[in-house]
Structures are given as C-alpha cells and as structure tokens.
C-alpha cells in the first residue's frame, strides 16, 4: 500500500468514526460540538505535513478493555470512562494515568486519547480515558468538577480494577492539558472545584503530564481570548465572559496562579508553537522554588496536535514513560 493510499484510507476510516459521533450528538439530550475530529485534523495537517500518519491503538490482544464505564451522573446525564490495562497484570495494583482529551473545551471525545492510553497500558500502566462536560453543555468550572470526581472515583474503584490509589497521574492534551494542569497545581489544597461525590476519597494526584496546554491565560505568549465580532474565542465561550470583562476568572482558571508546596510534579511535552506553552517556564520556575520536580521536552516543526500522528507519537510515549519511571515510580 502506498503512503498516499494509506492516508486516504485513514481519512475514510476516521470519516466513519466522525459520522458515528455526529449521529450520536444529534441524538443526545445535550448539545455536541463535532468540529474537532480525527478525520478533520488529519485532512488539515496533511496539507502541511504530507508524510504524517495517524497513530492507532495497535494490538489489543494482551489488553483488558472496559468501555463506557459510568463514573458519575447528573440526573439522566451519565459520564463515562474507558479503562485499559494488561490482562496478565489484572491481579496487580498498577499506577493509573487518567487521560483527558482536548478540543478547545468544546469538542473532541475520550476515544481520541486511545492511542496514547493503549500504548501506555502495554507498558504496565492502568489507563483511564474520561468523558467530561464540554462548553456547549456546561461552562467553567463543570469540566473541572467532573475531573475531580473522576480522580476520586479511580480511588474508589481500587478494589474493582487494578488501580494503585497511591499513584494517580493526570494526562491532558491541549485544552485537556490546561484542565489537568490546573488541578495538579492546586492538588487538593483548596475547595475551588469541590464535589460531594466520593467524599471519602482524595482528589490529590502524584503527577501531571501536560501535552501542549496553556498554563496561564493572561500571559504575553497566550493568544486565548482573541475574540472577534460575533465570534468569541473558545476560552471566552468556556469561561463565560471575555478576559477584559472578568479577568479574575481567567486568572483563577490558570494553573500558574495556584502553584503551592503541595503541587504535583509536571511533565511538559510541547510543540514549538509559543502560544501552547504559555506560562510553562514561569510555572517551572515556581515549582523549582518548592523543589517540585519537572521535566520538559519539545518537538520541532510539528503541528499542535502532534500526539495524534507519526512520526511524533513514539517519542511522546517514551517521554511519558520516562517521566513515570523517573518521578512517579521512585
């Protein structure tokens, strides 16, 4: 199969996936934004990077998969998680990585994290890809409350799944990275995003993997909030008001605002696009003041969504595994 033919086939297959999710959205009782999909992202990036190909989940024969497990609900609205781990390790307690997809707080879905999650599962981690409420359904801080609930749920399920409740790490891509970084910076030290669910369990995490996510909204490198007449930015839609109207909320939603002595260790994996690393070096400087470890890596000449594609996928996974081995599994 030629390279071009393979990419055409990938576009076709991801088109079917996109159609399925669109149909699901049309039938949902809540609004769905289907603008960020694998099909569209591949089509867009092939124009600039014709040699790329989509990362896939790979061989699943050795994996135990649990799809669409309900982790919380709001009335009839259920939120789901996909769980994957090595079948041969089902009796063990494994470090947990909770994967949070991107999409401008408005679009995307948990399956977009599957390639990363499945590969990390093959390396001996329990991977949990979570659904959360997006801005068409519920604005800030709903997504964060969902994710705190998911962290606590992971610990509550330690007797059901092979989860090590002492080693829970958050991973996020793009907007998902912003979310997990905010939670990891606070790290259970305030009541900002409290939830009464699973109240007996901690919302603390042992690490954060930030893949090209903003750390500070009001920052010289950030272009979030660049509204146009009749077309508010993704951040404005999610936060509910423009930056000049409610700067305190924009500051509150920034991980850089909340670094403290109990913040989690961080891994940063970035593209070379400055706006997606806004606040990163400032945050590392703050972590250093508390002797909290961090690691940072950067891909050159790649798209923002590099984690979805070869040739950057394998290196991204290796950096994640290195962080887990060096920092989390000491």
Q: What is the pLDDT along the chain (330 residues), one digit of tens a residue?
A: 444 445 544 544 444 343 334 334 434 688 999 999 999 999 999 999 999 999 999 999 999 999 999 999 999 999 999 999 999 999 999 999 999 999 999 999 999 999 999 999 999 999 999 999 999 999 999 999 999 999 999 999 999 999 999 999 999 999 999 999 999 999 999 999 999 999 999 999 999 999 999 999 988 877 776 777 778 999 999 999 999 999 999 999 999 999 999 999 999 999 998 889 889 999 999 999 999 999 999 999 999 999 999 999 999 999 999 999 999 997
Strand (E) or helix (H) holding 67: strand 63-74
Distance in angstroms (rounded) separating the CA atoms of residues 154 and 177: 19
Residue 29 lies in a domain: no
pLDDT at position 28 is: 67
Residue 53 lies in a domain: no
Domain hosting 210: range is: 59-304
Burial 13-38 (b: 16+ CB within 10 A, else e): ebbeebeebeeebeeeeeebbbebbb
Which CATH number goes with the domain that contains 131?
3.40.50.1820
- Tell me the H-state helices in the chain: 3-27, 38-46, 114-122, 142-156, 175-186, 234-239, 247-252, 280-289, 313-323
* Token digits of residue 326: 């060096």
Which pLDDT score, from 0 to 100, does residue 227 have? 74
Tell whether 90 is covered by a domain.
Answer: yes
What is the pLDDT at residue 7? 52
Q: Provide the phi-psi class of 174: left if phi over 0, else alpha when psi is between -120 and 50, else beta.
A: left
Q: Using the CB atoms, write b or e for 118-148: b if 16+ within 10 Å.
A: bbbbbebbbbbbbbbbbbbbbbbbbbbbbbb
* Domain-embedded: residue 322: no
Identify whether 12 is part of a domain. Answer: no
Report the number of distinct structural domains present in the chain. 1
Predicted pLDDT of residue 278: 87
Strand partners, 128: 83, 98
Token code pair at residue 264: 């989690």
112 domain residue, yes or no: yes
Q: Does 93 map to a domain?
A: yes
In this prediction, residue 274 carries a pLDDT of 86
């Amino acid at each position: 199969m030629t390279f071009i033919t393979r990419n055409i086939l990938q576009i076709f297959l991801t088109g079917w996936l996109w159609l399925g999710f669109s149909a699901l959205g049309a039938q949902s009782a809540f609004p769905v934004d289907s603008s960020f999909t694998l099909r569209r992202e591949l089509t867009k990036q092939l124009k600039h990077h014709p040699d790329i190909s989509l990362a896939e989940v790979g061989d699943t024969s050795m994996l135990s998969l649990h799809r669409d497990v309900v982790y919380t609900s709001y009335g009839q609205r259920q939120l789901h998680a996909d769980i994957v781990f090595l079948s041969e390790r089902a009796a063990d307690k494994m470090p947990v990585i909770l994967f949070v997809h991107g999409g401008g707080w408005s679009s995307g879905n948990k399956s977009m994290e599957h390639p990363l999650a499945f590969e990390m599962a093959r390396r001996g981690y329990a991977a949990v890809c979570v659904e959360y409420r997006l801005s068409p359904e519920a604005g800030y801080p709903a997504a964060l409350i969902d994710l705190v609930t998911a962290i606590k749920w992971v610990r509550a399920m330690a007797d059901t799944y092979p989860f090590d409740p002492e080693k829970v790490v958050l991973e996020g891509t793009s907007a998902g990275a912003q979310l997990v970084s905010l939670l990891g910076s606070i790290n259970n030290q305030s009541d900002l995003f409290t939830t009464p669910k699973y109240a007996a369990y901690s919302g603390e995490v042992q690490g954060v993997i930030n893949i090209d996510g903003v750390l500070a909204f009001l920052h010289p490198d950030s272009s979030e909030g660049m509204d146009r007449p009749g077309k508010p930015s993704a951040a404005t839609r999610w936060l509910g008001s423009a930056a000049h109207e409610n700067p305190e909320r924009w500051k509150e939603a920034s991980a850089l605002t909340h670094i403290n002595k109990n913040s989690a260790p961080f891994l940063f994996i970035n593209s070379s696009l400055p706006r997606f690393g806004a606040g990163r070096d400032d945050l590392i400087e703050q972590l250093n003041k508390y002797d909290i470890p961090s690691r940072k890596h950067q891909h050159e000449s790649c798209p923002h969504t590099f984690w979805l594609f070869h040739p950057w996928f394998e290196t991204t996974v290796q950096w994640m595994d290195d962080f887990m081995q060096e920092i989390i599994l000491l």
